[in-house]
Chain A
Amino acid sequence: MFTGIGQTSLGVLRALAPLVVLFVIFQFRFLKLPKGRIINLIKGVALAAVGLVLFLQGVRVGFLPAGEALGEALGLIGTKYLIIPLGFALGFLTTWGEPAVRVLSDQVEKASAGSINKKTVLVTITLGVASFVALGMARTIYGFPLTYIVIPGYALAIGLMWLSDKEYLSIAFDAGGVATGPLAVTFLMAVSVGIASAIEGRDPIIDGFGLIALIALAPILSIMVLGLIYRTRLRKIMSSIIPGQEKE
């Protein structure tokens, strides 16, 4: 369980050191924060370091091997297309549980002044991510390039962007990160790498990676589409109440 924890710790120190050095320089050059804040900084960095060691070690000995084992078992089953609905289910479960997605749903409700219900946002993003995980699994099984999904996906995102209102636009692009929480992502990534290494003729690097990118793309598209649907609906209601409103 704890084998290699020394090396993990060393990695964490190396990862945190630059940030700490930067803060120390700032402190002396211009911040000059009171002593209490500095003590808090030291406490915070120490907590974060210990936490990061535990997290990375747990991911390394538990999550990644389990994800890869599940992926390999999936890659070996006869009816490969069954992986696609399973991917949908895994994507659904992990996104539904992700707290950041709920925070974002609140944010969208506020930005729309209540006209977009937060439950609607949550369901849309969750279904969006689940569909994209399913699509990602299909890609890994059948081995078509990631670009077939990602290029039309981002082209669509750019197109939608020019149609969307400013508030939705910023929220949508920031939302790319909400579903890619560290727990779900490490696991799903390992599953798809496992599948790719178990299926004959698939390259784990080319066919196994790419899932995180899809999980990041799904909420961007979901939110902009939601924003547009609601705007059109709002216009229709307005024009039915006040004739001639449609022309603007």
Chain B
Amino acid sequence: MPERIKNRALEVVKAIIPLVIAIVVLQFTPLQMPASVFYRFLGSVGMVIAGMILFLVGIDVGILPVGEAVGNELPKRGSLPLVLGVAFLIGFTATMAEPDVLVLTGQIHDVSGEAISDNILIIVIAIGVAFFVAMALLRIIRGFAMKRLLTIGYSVVLGLSFATPREFVPVAFDSGGVTTGPMAVPIILALGLGFSSVIAGRSALSDGFGLIGLASIGPIIGVMVMGIIL
């Protein structure tokens, strides 16, 4: 357990150090930011690092093992609709708690002058992820090709990008990018790997992977459809 905390801490610090150095260096150039903003940034570095470490350890200790248990138990117990329903719910709830999603939606809400509601956006993104997680599991069960599903998914994305109002296009694509964060990825992977190993004849490696790639298509489609409706 302490070993795990140490590894996580190292991981977070390594990820953040280059950025902090870059900002400090830039502060001595004409690109410097106001001193108050700079000092608050330095102060927040500690907070962000501590926060991310606690969050990751929390996921490792408590949330991930339950996600794995669900992935292992579910296909043994339930009927197909139940399994897909549960996969949907897990994809949905994990995305609701995804830090990247919370930051992006908050930022969009502020920048758009509150024209785009962050609460609605979070729900749309979560539904998008959930739907595609369920689809990805259906793919594992039925054994159809990853390529085909990805091609269909991205073709829909490309088609919709012409149909949706242009202010929704960047927001939609960004929504697809943020779903692959520290919360949703391990849970969805645990679910997928558990699934592939329980269902006979499927190799955990090539069937379990690809889930994350599929999951990030959902929010893009969801937000574009939201743009068309609004």
Contacts and interface: CB of A to CB of B under 8 A. Distances in A.
A93 B66 contact: no
A66 B57 contact: no
Contacts, number: 322
B222 interface: no
Interface in B152-197: 154-155, 157-158, 161-162, 166-167, 169-171, 173-174, 176-182, 185
Given A158-B151, A170-B213, A206-B166, A212 B178 contact: yes
A199 interface: no
Given A47-B61, A54-B51, A182-B52, A19 B96 contact: yes
Interface string B83-103: 000100110111011011011
A171 to B, nearest CB: 6
Q: How large is the interface on B (under 10, 10 to 19, 20 to 34, 35 or more residues)?
A: 35 or more
A18 B183 CA distance: 14
Given A19-B94, A176-B177, A185-B178, A99 B51 contact: no
Interface of B: 11-12, 14-19, 21-23, 26, 30-34, 37-38, 40-48, 50-66, 69-70, 73, 77, 86, 89-90, 92-94, 96-97, 99-100, 102-104, 106-108, 111-112, 146-147, 150-151, 154-155, 157-158, 161-162, 166-167, 169-171, 173-174, 176-182, 185, 205-206, 209-214, 216
13 contacts: A45-B58, A47-B62, A48-B59, A51-B51, A54-B51, A167-B206, A174-B210, A174-B213, A183-B12, A193-B111, A209-B108, A212-B177, A220-B213
A170 to B, nearest CB: 4
A31 B38 contact: no
Contacts of A55: 47-48, 51-52, 55, 99
Given A30-B73, A59-B44, A184 B209 contact: no
Contacts of B178: 180, 185, 212
A211 interface: yes
Nearest to A90: B22
Contact of A99 (B11, B70, B150): B11
A169 B149 CA distance: 12
By Cβ-Cβ distance, the 8 closest A-B pairs, closest first, are A44-B62, A62-B44, A177-B180, A173-B213, A51-B54, A54-B51, A48-B58, A55-B51
B69 A54 contact: no
A134 interface: no
B37 A69 contact: yes
Interface stretch (A143-151, A228-236, A240-248): A143-151
Interface string A63-92: 111100110011001000000000001100
A246 to B, nearest CB: 25
B182 A77 contact: no
Contacts of B40: 1, 61-62, 65-66
Nearest to B90: A22
A15 interface: yes
A65 B103 CA distance: 13
A10 interface: no
Contact of B93 (A19, A51, A177, A186): A19
A23 B16 CA distance: 32
A210 interface: yes
A188 to B, nearest CB: 9
Interface string A178-194: 10111111110110010
Given A209-B171, A212-B174, A53 B51 contact: yes
A176 B173 contact: no
